[in-house]
Amino acid sequence: MGNQLVWFKKDLRVADHAPLFEAAKAGPCLCLYVFEPDIIHAPDFDSSHAEFIRQSLSDLKQALERRGGALLIQTGRMPDVLDALHQRYGFEALWSHEETGNDLSYARDLRVAGWVKQNGLRWIELPQTGVVRRLKTRDRWAAQWEKRMSSGLMPPPDRIPTIGGLEGSSSIPTLAELGLPPHQKSGMQSGGELAAEETLHSFLTQRGQNYQKAMSSPLTAGEECSRLSPYLTWGNLSVRQVYQATLNQIQSLSTGAKGPDSAQWLRSLRSFNKRLHWHCHFMQKLEDEPAIEFENMNRAFDGLRDPEPNGELLEAWIQGQTGYPLVDACMRALHQQGWINFRMRAMMASFSAYHLWQHWREPAVQLARHFLDFEPGIHYSQFQMQSGVTGINTIRIYSPIKQAKEQDPTGAFIRQFVPELADLPNEFIHEPNTLPPLLALSYGFQPGVHYPAPVVDHMTAYRQAKERIFAWKQQPEVRKLALAVYEKHGSRQQSGQRRGRS
């Protein structure tokens, strides 16, 4: 019954939190969150991330206090913070969730493991996702995921005994106190366990009916997609909570009275359920091969693109000034909100990789800062997939004009986020550079002045990219290594046969 330390990382909740539940049974607890300078000042971190964490800590602090606990918030490098706390409070065990994070968090965990061993303590790490540590083969991975996600939810502790000498919860540092500038995302979602639970409930009972149809267009996705990804990233909800709540709602719709909308609800929720499997499927790739944060998954693609970005093209892309209205509208929306739907993310990555012919690494880091739901395992795997360097995924080169006409036919989304185009007629909103001079004059609009001309010609860039990528894919070494990539990272059915992403 010695003192226990519960280390909160990307699991900012009290429900379905096994380390907290088990530690509370084992003895008096010190609950800890650490703002780590290495991580919060890294290129893939943004002040909006810190603000979401701050909001989440506010909820967590109150939830712990209602149960007799307290949250200690520190700023410092790990394991130096642990060492100082151990000298003061003498805890006998460190409890936390396993984390599949970026290289910085991985190196941090290795330092903590060394410190724990040196001090003769126990570090109990418990899984919180479907990611399997030290996985030997992808065969039957889906069955392991299903078993873990179907196991019983862990209730919040009724009471959290607090170690002696702890003077209550710490205050939450401001962004300025953390050495961070004000965040710029006026439309970002609010963090915290309560907001997460409300978002889950509203999706499953109100917003999600048309999810399957609405997820592709930026016009409808913002309201009718789940919007749960930030809460999963920062652990305001567990994947298991979302999975079981979704299954419960599917079961209720399947067995209850059938209304006129039941069929559409069932299609949408079943589609959403598949994507929960994909969530952990991609994180497992980074767990199994941490180097894919920096290196091509298929190393035979090394040399396909210059690893040094074209600064001018990259800057136009990240600032939403490419001259392709939907690409620019998505980027500017992301700057304001920290979220954009998957189809538009894929288009943005494709545009960078193929139209601008940029290596995936630097664009991926730039977008990581803007995604409030930045999850390294998903983000870097997806960026490589969209850039065509895995060797096992279908090459998709999105036409930004075709996507604009299909997903934003009247230009409503473009007008909202690229206001300099707001007054243009529908037939020119997707290609303002084609506006005839006299008509442009009547609208007081000058292509290339009021809005940039396209930074590249679509058809030229498309043809060149297609020729390059498909010629490279035919190389024997690419094909050979693709087999190894699939064996290590490819999705399977339980029989071991290949299927689509799961």
* 3-class secondary structure, 357: coil
- Verify that 107 and 77 share a domain, yes or no: yes
pLDDT at residue 491, rounded to an integer: 84
- For residue 85, give the nearest of 109, 126, 121 by alpha carbon: 121
Among 202-216, 319-333, 487-501, the minimum mean pLDDT is found in 487-501
Q: How many domains does the chain have?
A: 3
Domain presence at residue 297? yes
Q: What angle do CA 205, 53, 58 make, to 5 degrees?
A: 80
Task: Write out the residue range of the structural domain in which residue 464 sits.
Answer: 293-489
- Verify that 340 and 359 share a domain, yes or no: yes
- Verify that 368 and 318 share a domain, yes or no: yes
Structural domain ending residue among the three candidates 267, 287, 307: 287
Query: What's the pLDDT tens digit per position in 341-362?
Result: 999 999 999 999 999 999 999 9
For the chain, what is the mean pLDDT?
A: 95
CA dist 373 and 226 (Å) reads 13
CA dist 115 and 133 (Å) reads 21
- Verify that 363 and 448 share a domain, yes or no: yes
Percent of the chain predicted with pLDDT > 90 = 94
CA dist 102 and 339 (Å) reads 20
Tokens found for residue 205: 């009972």
Domain presence at residue 362? yes
CA dist 101 and 83 (Å) reads 23
Q: Is the pLDDT of residue 500 over 50?
A: no
Contacts of 439 (CB under 8 A, 6+ apart): 428
Q: Is the pLDDT of residue 497 over 50?
A: no
* 3-class secondary structure, 451: strand
pTM of the model: 0.95
Average pLDDT rounded to a whole number, residues 380-392: 96
Structural domain ending residue among the three candidates 77, 112, 128: 128
